[in-house]
Amino acid sequence: MASDNKTTPRSADDLKAGGFIPQRQAGKITIRCKAPGGRLTSDRLQRISEVARKYGQGIVHLSVRMSPEIPYIDLADLDAVVRELGEVGQEIASCGKRFRVSTACAGCEYNPNGLTDTQELSRLATERFFGQDTPHKFKTCFAGCVRDCVRCRMADLGFQGMVRPALAKENCTHCGLCIKVCQDEALTMGADELPVRDLSRCISCGDCIKACPFEAMVAETTGHGVFAGGKHGKHPHTAYPVAEFVPDEQVLSVVEATMSWYREHGKRGERLGDVFDRVGLDSYRKALKQLVGERLLAAADIQQPKWWRIFYRGLAETFPAYGEV
């Protein structure tokens, strides 16, 4: 990609497509560097710093979506900057109406709460879809658990790590720790002194599994909750939950299917959430069902207390009716 960035200054749109953002200062641009999941090697970080000092004003801005941006670059220095960044493998990000670099939390690699490998998935998604055109911008993010630090509900397509706990009875010492750590009243002590799960209340955070000292609470299924149609900006839109426990190997297919539905139904300049509200969410749910099957969320799922608890108060009430698809 970087080798492709032979840059002859063109229109503002062309510049933005390449990750070059015109500034209010004439002749100056901001260069947005690609960093899927906000992850950089120290070599790349160092080179970004050197380039900022050499060609910019010695400052770097971290964009809201985790891209390091180097402001105050002279249009004339574009080729040199791209080449010097490219020497250490630092590519340029993108702006405009297309698939944007994926964001992600630290994920399960070293974060104690992470359930899924968000870093690897954001890298893979960016590698596969980066720069592909869509009716409007298309932002994806990967959260490793339901704490949702990267805000799936505000992304066009968000994946949120989730785990369904199961009880290995033979290991349980009846200590009640799992019941204490659950903040969602999804576990109660049964008559036989064994914890009883209420899956309609379980928000799949995995706290009970992580707390249990005796390997009695174990992971039954791990996967991704899928949220589609979110955005921030002037006219914010909260994403709708559309699927749960989607396995790792289906994630890229879900991205592809969503982009494909979006291209088919979206008008130029229309974000995914707005397309849902104009065309009907069920059209998309139907397309998604072909891929995820039973993992598609239905009306009955959305009525469960867990979904009401993980959305901002009252918001779940505003969801469109989920029809039979």
Partner 1 sequence: MTDQTEESIGVAERIDLRGTPCPMNWVKTKLRLEQMETGQILEVLLDDGDAIRNVPRSVKTEGHKILKVTPIGSDFSLLIEKSER
Per-residue tokens: 14: 């062309």
CB of 175 or CB of 218, closer to partner 1: 175
CB of 9 or CB of 176, closer to partner 1: 176
CB of 177 or CB of 218, closer to partner 1: 177
For partner 1, the binding residue among 58, 190, 213, 247 (CB under 8 A) is 213
CB of 195 or CB of 230, closer to partner 1: 195
CB atoms within 10 A of CB 304: 17
214: contact with partner 1 by CB under 8 A? yes
CA distance 205 to 163: 6
Q: Which helix (H) or strand (E) holds 158?
A: strand 157-167
Least Å from the CB of residue 174 to partner 1: 9
CB of 289 or CB of 309, closer to partner 1: 309
CA distance 310 to 292: 22
The pattern of x and - marking residues 92 through 131 that bind partner 1 according to CB under 8 A reads --------------------x-------------------
218: contact with partner 1 by CB under 8 A? no
Which of 255, 50, 239 minimizes the C-alpha distance to 151?
239
Residue linked to tokens 């994920």: 107
Q: Which residues contact 136 (CB under 8 A, 6 or more apart)?
A: 97, 266, 268, 269, 270, 271, 272
CA distance 238 to 192: 42
169: contact with partner 1 by CB under 8 A? no
211: contact with partner 1 by CB under 8 A? yes
- 133 - beta bridge partners? 98
Which range touches partner 1 (CB under 8 A), out of 50-58, 129-137, 177-185, 255-263?
177-185
Per-residue tokens: 97: 């109406």
180: contact with partner 1 by CB under 8 A? yes
Which residues lie near partner 1 (CB under 8 A)? Answer: 112, 173, 175-177, 180-181, 183, 207, 210-211, 213-214
